[in-house]
Structure 1
Amino acid sequence: MGETMELTFPVVDLSKIDGDERGATMDVIKDACENWGFFELMNHGISHELMDTVEKHTKEHYKKCMEQRFKEMVASKGLDQVAQTEINDMDWESTFFLRHLPKTNVNEISDLEDDYRVVMKQFAVELEKLAEKLLDLLCENLGLEQGYLKKVFYGSKGPNFGTKVSNYPPCPKPDLIKGLRAHTDAGGIILLFQDDKVSGLQLLKDGNWVDVPPMKHSIVVNLGDQLEVITNGKYKSVMHRVIAQTDGTRMSIASFYNPGNDAVIHPAPALVDEGAEKSDVYPKFVFEDYMKLYAGMKFQAKEPRFEAMKANAATI
């Protein structure tokens, strides 16, 4: 399973989307969406300088405000003395959440330095633009009209957009506890700025766990459950996890561009075959209802979530 698979991890040079190689670039994106659920973006238009500043502030903030808290949590749960049994009900990670849309909470998080707030707001604006550009590229590949996905996500108040800032500290027993347990993402399209030195992110492909290679200044993109529903399974959300490492703290900044709470999610009519059996068509539901269900089932298979939504469909 080793390195041969890693070499083929889909990497997209987004600068080529406007030139002669547009067709080939769109094909790489299409193949990645259909067969991987993940791809890595280079030359995505977000300045390296901005990314470096975000990274510097994030790592400083962790050291100053989060590291000690994490150590105390580990000690209080006795995890530093961890027994020889696997721990399946928690993750070896230190995180906080920033909300950008529909309304930001960046000013309400008390221990953020002003410079950090400013740079995270800038970063969010760039990521939002990138997410919307990618959604239109997906529309093109799927044969949907431009703007279709953005419109579905919009609901009545616009999309939900937020960032999970995580650090995965060194772990004494990485074989016994995951940095983050295996799951698919519930939402729309996810843009990840990850550490380029400390690895750990893996995705499940054809029954094997494959490393998502750390690449400097790249943005890793993955598809959430909502895109699987809207494409009626043409694109799939993929199980992924983070393996804790024994040395080095891994930084992960994941931004989730999700439908608005009241957005009605359903397969795009153009992607449902005319004579399709009802059982072959994904459910229709309100995004907020899906999220309530997901909250209790995050670390389980996604299929029962879709089934539960089908069972509820009569209520919409």
Structure 2
Amino acid sequence: MKNWIKAKIRTKNFEKEVMETFPVVNMEKLNGEERAATMKLINHACENWGFFEIVNHGISTELLDTVEKMTKDHYNKCMVERFKEMVATKGLEAVQSEVDDLDWESTFHLRHLPQSNISEVPDLQDDYRLVMKEFAKQLEKLAEYILEILCENLGLDKGYLKKVFYGAKGPTFGTKVSNYPPCPKPDLIKGLRAHTDAGGVILLFQDDKVSGLQLLKDDNWVDVPPMHHSIVINLGDQLEVITNGRYKSVLHRVIAQTDGTRMSIASFYNPGSDALIYPAPQLVSKEQEKTNMYPKFVFEDYMNLYSELKFQPKEPRFEAMKTMEDIAPIATA
């Protein structure tokens, strides 16, 4: 597997195809002679992209195929009509100007940690519940493996990131299951507006036939290529803070398509609600200690702010958390 694939770059004035070095990581190579080069590729992706795509990640293709089939079946049986009613109620098919207060997506959410709510989510078939529980278990294991890889690349102690995420009650972990139906006016309605993710590490299983996910790199929107049986990894705001900006969360969005329904299953392995988030001391130089680039805060406080400002730039959120810290200093012991 080559570590580059062709990506499409969209600029304001034109569209062109380039051989863009979008990072694709063959995880099996971490167990052989190419481990050092593969670790270097992951580090480069985290520092320069905030995203990378992994293959041979240990989750069976049979499970992925089952998850995809059941998710698409569930959407067709239980959610299509609901989505059509929403579109009709809001008059979205007749809009004449850009819509900036909602997204062209049909979603439901599952919580896995600290306590699962899968048994309580309505309309799910029992076999689908069981499959999603198993999928979540595999993704949780993969997320923790990714955190260990990041620790090694950053020179942090083994288990550092998992311990920070754990807090006193354990991490939070949940899944957003989305479908993006064909949209009559994709130039006016986004599938999902541009944002950075609030949390830790995000694991995305996306449709390999219908594209739409893009990230912002060097002021250009770059397609995240759909690949069969891959998992897309991206980093959230918390990892930017903990790494003191060495790794950054990146703006991304979903472009609605005129043909085909895009499936997206995004799982968020995040700090626990009471976890204390701040730059790892090993990654802060003496000079940076004086500038205080990133704040110290409790994750739940950040999430409360994020819920109101998700589609706005992240920098003011960080500044707001600094202000909260100054007003009410956080105890560290």
- Report the residue type matching 2:73 in the other structure: E
Q: Using the alignment, how far apart are the partners of 1:237 and 1:80 within structure 2?
A: 33
Q: Using the alignment, how far apart are the partners of 1:207 and 1:63 within structure 2?
A: 37
Q: Using the alignment, how far apart are the partners of 2:316 and 2:293 within structure 1?
A: 15
Q: Using the alignment, how far apart are the partners of 2:291 and 2:182 within structure 1?
A: 45
Map 1:219-238 → 2, pairs under 5 A: 219-238=231-250
Secondary structure of 1:275's counterpart equals: helix
Counterpart residue number, 2:41 = 28
- Report the residue type matching 1:209 in the other structure: W
Secondary structure of 2:305's counterpart equals: helix
Q: Using the alignment, how far apart are the partners of 1:98 and 1:113 within structure 2?
A: 14
Counterpart residue number, 2:75 = 62
Q: Is the 8 A contact 1:183 1:299 kept in 2?
A: yes
Map 1:189-208 → 2, pairs under 5 A: 189-208=201-220
Of 303, 307, 315, the residue aligned with 1:291 is 303
Q: Structure 1, unaligned stretches of length 5 or more?
A: none
Deviation at 1:274, TM superposition (A): 1.8
Q: Is the 8 A contact 1:188 1:225 kept in 2?
A: yes
Q: Using the alignment, how far apart are the partners of 1:212 and 1:300 within structure 2?
A: 22
Runs of 4+ in 1 over 3 A off after TM superposition: none
2:51 is aligned with 1:52: no
Counterpart residue number, 2:187 = 175
Of 131, 151, 155, the residue aligned with 1:139 is 151
Q: Is the 8 A contact 1:183 1:240 kept in 2?
A: yes
Deviation at 1:277, TM superposition (A): 4.8
Counterpart residue number, 2:5 = none
Once the two structures are superposed, what CA deviation does each residue of 1:103-157 show, in whole Å capped at 9, x if it has no partner? 0000001200001000000000000000000000000000001100000000111
- Report the residue type matching 1:49 in the other structure: E
Deviation at 1:313, TM superposition (A): 1.1
Counterpart residue number, 1:157 = 169
Of 38, 42, 50, the residue aligned with 2:51 is 38
Secondary structure of 2:111's counterpart equals: strand
Counterpart residue number, 1:258 = 270
- Report the residue type matching 2:305 in the other structure: L
Of 272, 276, 286, the residue aligned with 1:274 is 286
Secondary structure of 1:61's counterpart equals: helix
Deviation at 1:280, TM superposition (A): 4.3
Secondary structure of 1:222's counterpart equals: strand
- Report the residue type matching 1:37 in the other structure: G
Secondary structure of 1:165's counterpart equals: strand
Secondary structure of 2:249's counterpart equals: coil
Secondary structure of 1:215's counterpart equals: coil
TM-score (norm 2): 0.93
Q: Using the alignment, how far apart are the partners of 2:230 and 2:287 within structure 1?
A: 42
Secondary structure of 2:288's counterpart equals: coil
Counterpart residue number, 1:304 = 316
Identity %: 75
